[in-house]
Amino acid sequence: MAISTQSQLEDRNYELGSLLTSATSQPRSQQIQEDTFPPAFFLDDDLFKQCQLTLPEDFATIPAYIQPFVGDLDSIRGAAAKYFEKIQPWMPIVAKKRLLDYLLRSLSRLRADIALLIVAMRLVTLFPLDSIFNPKTPMYVAAKRMYAEAESVGVLTLPVLQAGVLISIYEYGHAMYPATFFTVAACARYAALLGIGKESSVFENPSLTWVEVEEKRRVWWAIIIMDRCVNIGCPSRALATNEPSLNSPLPVDEAMWEEAGNKPENTFTLSSAASLEMGQLARFAQAAHLLGRVYRHISEPAGDQSFQFEEREQLRRTLLALVNVSLAEEQTRRLSFCNQTSTCYSALLMLQQPYLIDNDPMSILSGDGFQFIFKPEAIAHNAFKIVQSFACVSLEAVSPFLTHLLYKSVVYFIESNNSPEIQETLKAGLQTLDKKWRVAGAYLDMLRAR
């Protein structure tokens, strides 16, 4: 698996970029704008609207402590291109055409919130160069500081929120707990202030194009996805976001959104049956929603045993249907794996754990002819196939959402004292992912402790 040496050197250059101007040596007025957030926004919303008060739209200037990680315009465009190639395919939450058009026009002054987003893009594409990599890099510390200061003075813009989501992905990918837990929660509250914390009329703004509305919706779903995935090791822990309603609109197909043409006629909701016409993020959102329902099923069992069993069967059938469509997409679009597939597998393992019965076939036959026997062993074997596909993809483009499935699959084989050769292959897969995402190494450490 070839990794670009030039890419690694670029990451190192930005990580080791000298901070010639210390943030602490600058007057606060030169670091960030003064606190101009109107309290009436919270204390009296009617008065806020009546007086036509406004919220801070951006930082006064780009803070000095983050400027070394922003770079010049050419390097900014390079960072954006790398992000759209490596990260956007599995977490498409930034409108590519809109951002690139803005960067083409920004010959004089870059907005500070866009600068933060660019740094967050650099951060999530960062490739560790050695085994002693510490994820709390100067770039990470600077990005976290600027995000926190945006919160503190009430700078409320979508690019700042997008940066927060990318920071949470970086933290999740490097097992930075409890930081990622807190960051996701902060993003949920930030989204609520931007008016995108709910799925109904808050997206209806006649001044926005459908592409802009879609971008906000995608960020909202990304927060829900992160909230479920961050808590995947402890399903009883309280989530930062409520379960979306079944009428919640799902993201549209990625190709249509990135083309930024006419608004698609077909709109899918959370209750829609999984379909190849949906985009990847839409099915990932469905998988995350089902994962949240599995959390509730396990942590808040119904007193009625028959209802508990029926709910379990319904969740299992729905998860399997989504897996069938995801696997069909992998074959149609020649994808090596999808985040929604691994999320569904993890949810199935979690769902089945309290009910393991050797003679329970757990099978389903879909209309497309896919048949699966979803005992834990079958899911673990599918994880084995995912690891085998690593040889066909760039490691830089692999997401951290696969790591939990690999870990739980190894645990299954260890506890069943089965298939030592597959165990080693799965562990090797985690070792490979550890080169990009250190959460894989954390899982390996836990396996050694078992």
How much is the pLDDT for 292?
A: 96
How much is the pLDDT for 54?
A: 79
Lowest mean pLDDT among 95-109, 190-204, 286-300, 337-351: 190-204
Stretch 276-298: mean pLDDT, rounded? 92
- For residues 415 and 357, the model is more confident at 415
Lowest mean pLDDT among 44-58, 171-185, 417-431: 44-58
The answer to whether residue 291 is domain-embedded is yes
How much is the pLDDT for 119?
A: 98
Q: How far, in Å, are 364, 382, 384, 409 from residue 361 at the CA level? A: 9, 16, 20, 18
**Nearest CA among 442, 408, 397 for reference residue 124:** 397
- Read off φ and ψ for residue 94, nearest 5 degrees: -115, 125
Stretch 172-190: mean pLDDT, rounded? 97
Angle at 425 between CA 423 and CA 427, to 5 degrees: 70
Contacts of 28 (CB under 8 A, 6+ apart): 34
Helices then strands, each counted (H, E), the chain: 19, 2
Whether 359 has a pLDDT exceeding 70, the answer reads no
**Nearest CA among 123, 69, 116, 78 for reference residue 100:** 78
The answer to whether residue 329 is domain-embedded is no
How much is the pLDDT for 393?
A: 78
- For residues 166 and 273, the model is more confident at 166
Beta-bridged to residue 373, according to DSSP, are 363
Whether 303 has a pLDDT exceeding 70, the answer reads yes
The answer to whether residue 448 is domain-embedded is no
Are residues 188 and 181 in contact, defined by beta-carbon separation less than 8 angstroms? no
d(CA 119, CA 121): 5
How much is the pLDDT for 186?
A: 96
Lowest mean pLDDT among 20-29, 186-195, 328-337: 20-29
| Tokens matching residue 258 | 């990135």
Stretch 275-289: mean pLDDT, rounded? 90
The answer to whether residue 185 is domain-embedded is yes
Whether 136 has a pLDDT exceeding 90, the answer reads yes
The answer to whether residue 337 is domain-embedded is no
Lowest mean pLDDT among 57-61, 117-121, 288-292, 402-406: 57-61
- For residues 92 and 374, the model is more confident at 92
The answer to whether residue 445 is domain-embedded is no
- For residues 408 and 389, the model is more confident at 408
Element (H, E) at 96: helix 96-105
Whether 281 has a pLDDT exceeding 70, the answer reads yes
Domain of residue 228: give its range. 5-320
Stretch 419-435: mean pLDDT, rounded? 93
The answer to whether residue 356 is domain-embedded is no
Stretch 204-223: mean pLDDT, rounded? 88
Stretch 31-47: mean pLDDT, rounded? 76
The answer to whether residue 439 is domain-embedded is no
Give the total number of structural domains in the chain: 1
pTM of the model: 0.87
d(CA 213, CA 200): 12
Whether 365 has a pLDDT exceeding 70, the answer reads no
d(CA 240, CA 182): 9
Confidence of residue 214 (pLDDT cuts 50, 70, 90): very high
The pLDDT tens digits for 217-273 are: 999 999 999 999 999 999 899 999 999 999 999 999 998 898 877 888 778 999 998
Confidence of residue 369 (pLDDT cuts 50, 70, 90): very low
Confidence of residue 395 (pLDDT cuts 50, 70, 90): confident
**Nearest CA among 353, 346, 355, 354 for reference residue 288:** 346
How much is the pLDDT for 33?
A: 52
Are residues 387 and 431 in contact, defined by beta-carbon separation less than 8 angstroms? no
Question: Helix or strand or coil: residue 365?
Answer: strand
* Residue 178 preceded by cis peptide, ω within 30: yes
- Read off φ and ψ for residue 338, nearest 5 degrees: -125, 145
Whether 336 has a pLDDT exceeding 60, the answer reads no
- For residues 135 and 336, the model is more confident at 135
The rounded Cα 427 to chain-centroid distance in angstroms is: 24
